[in-house]
């Protein structure tokens, strides 16, 4: 949908509109003091789920753009001017998020990882929740694309038991592209928010890199990462890799194979 139409529905106006970089799933525009996100055919509830995740992160003390307006057809956010890198600030913000315990795992309403639907539901059993509500739906959606890797992935998913530290609110899709160093400090964008083990966020941050050594040193100083959690990160990366196979194809199969070999060796 045209961003001007979104702004009109929101009761807002901006004279200059230009595309912004990014937007693998949605189209993103700068419109004066606003950022407008649209999609030609958004899955039902995708933009409301993103807005809910942003509000949950904000309530937890994470810097995010303010939600100005949301509808099924799009999202209007506050524009955050860019600023200098602040890895210490990011470490402090994430360590606070990741040490604040929640009652149970999951999310009360359906969500999305990209365009992939995530079912609603909450549980106290972390291994069972992550297996049944996160990995197995993605495995089913990618079984044909995985080819001979599919039975190996199934054995890992059903046979591995990840460690538990306790349920915390996750950004849920925390790669470098969803980090914005703003003039007010580090901010997180485009969440797929739900409550899980913090290793899920750490796994995505490690998967594609882009977070400096200064960040990791400052984060570990505030919230050390036990060896058993480190050992579970490739398993959690499988969640994101299967989603990438689903959306972007077999170029991600070698990375899936590396995860399997890590646990099969």
Q: 24, 86, 125, 173: which is the annotated catalytic residue? A: 173
Strand locations in the chain (E): 17-19, 27-31, 34-38, 67-71, 74-78, 105-107, 111-113, 116-118, 121-123, 168-170, 179-182, 185-188, 194-196
Contact 141, 246 (CB under 8 A): yes
State whether residue 24 is helix, strand or coil. Answer: coil
- Give the Cα separation of 196 and 220 in Å (integer): 19
Report the C-alpha gap between 63 and 182 in whole angstroms: 10
Active site residue 86: no
The sign one gets for the Cα dihedral 88, 91, 94, 95 is: negative
Spatial separation of the C-alpha atoms in residues 20 and 11, rounded to whole Å: 22
Both structure tokens of 173: 């899709």
Active site residues: 173
């Amino acid at each position: 949908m045209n961003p001007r139409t979104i702004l009109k529905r929101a009761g807002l106006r901006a004279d200059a509109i230009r595309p912004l970089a990014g937007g693998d799933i949605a189209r993103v525009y700068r419109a004066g003091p606003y950022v407008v996100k649209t999609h030609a055919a958004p899955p039902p509830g995708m933009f409301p789920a993103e807005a809910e995740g942003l509000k949950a992160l904000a309530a937890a003390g994470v810097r995010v753009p303010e939600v100005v307006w949301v509808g099924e057809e799009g999202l209007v956010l506050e524009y955050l001017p860019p600023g200098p890198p602040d890895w210490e600030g990011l470490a402090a913000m994430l360590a606070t998020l990741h040490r604040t315990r929640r009652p149970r795992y999951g999310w009360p309403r359906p969500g999305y990882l990209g365009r992939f639907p995530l079912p609603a539901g909450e549980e106290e059993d972390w291994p069972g929740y992550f297996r049944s509500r996160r990995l197995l739906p993605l495995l089913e959606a990618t079984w044909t694309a995985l080819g001979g890797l599919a039975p190996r992935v199934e054995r890992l998913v059903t046979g591995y038991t990840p460690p538990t530290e306790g349920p915390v609110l996750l950004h849920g899709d925390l790669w470098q592209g969803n980090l914005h160093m703003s003039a007010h400090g580090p901010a997180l964008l485009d969440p797929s928010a739900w409550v899980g083990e913090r290793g899920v966020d750490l796994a995505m941050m490690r998967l594609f890199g882009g977070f400096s050594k200064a960040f990791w040193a400052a984060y570990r100083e505030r919230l050390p990462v036990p060896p058993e959690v480190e050992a579970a990160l490739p398993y959690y990366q499988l969640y994101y890799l299967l989603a990438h196979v689903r959306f972007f194809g077999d170029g991600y199969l070698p990375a899936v194979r590396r995860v399997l070999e890590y646990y099969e060796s």
